[in-house]
Structure 1
Amino acid sequence: MIELAKNHLKKVLETCGANRNCEYYPCHFDGQVCLWCYCPFYPCEDYELGEYIERKDGSKIWSCSKCFWVHRIDIAVEILKEIFNLTKDKGIDEALELLNDHELMLKIKDKVKEKYPVNR
């Protein structure tokens, strides 16, 4: 395998697999899929997936620390498929602008969650 392909494959494996090289791994569970290290639905405000917690200063913040759903392989891949379907005919900047729509992202979450419920 040529070096450029090997380096690219390494990035894909670190991004899409269980990135055991990450200093925070596992942040949710051993064997988790790290594709959605930063959840595209944050904050989803879905109480099956997270909860508001209190900060030291008394303010509230959405916590996903107990969310396992987005880190399952079937769900991670399904989310990616939905995103690809929406962006397949768009350039990167246009796709990012589209996906910056939080309501649209929550619709993707709901669609995937309907197909793959949390407690399955």
Structure 2
Amino acid sequence: MVSKVSVTRRAGRVRRKLKSVANGQPRLSVYRSSKNIYAQVIDDVKGRTLAAASTLEKDLKGKLKTGADTDAASAVGKLIAERAKKAGVEKVVFDRGAYLYHGRVKALADAAREGGLEF
């Protein structure tokens, strides 16, 4: 079992590296639970969320079989890319948090790239 301290350290390590290469770009942050997946585009300079999407939204929830598979992650990735572009964001840095770049996290990232976000 992985302790909460090690997960927090891993996420901090990833974010520390991201902030050094971000050069003021917003970051696309991913949170993955056992039942859903969430994504936010965050401007760390101003401390504001520019766009957000998750599998809990009414328009996605009806279409998806479950919120915890790669199809759901792809749908959230496309939606976050669309909303980020509407907010005027073209380039982001990808913040995978403490999660490995695999499975649902990778599916979300690939769908966001297909939707037009650059990272």
Q: TM-score, normalised by structure 1?
A: 0.32
Larger radius of gyration: 1
Q: Which has the higher contact order (CA 8 A, sep 6+)?
A: 2
Q: TM-score, normalised by structure 2?
A: 0.32
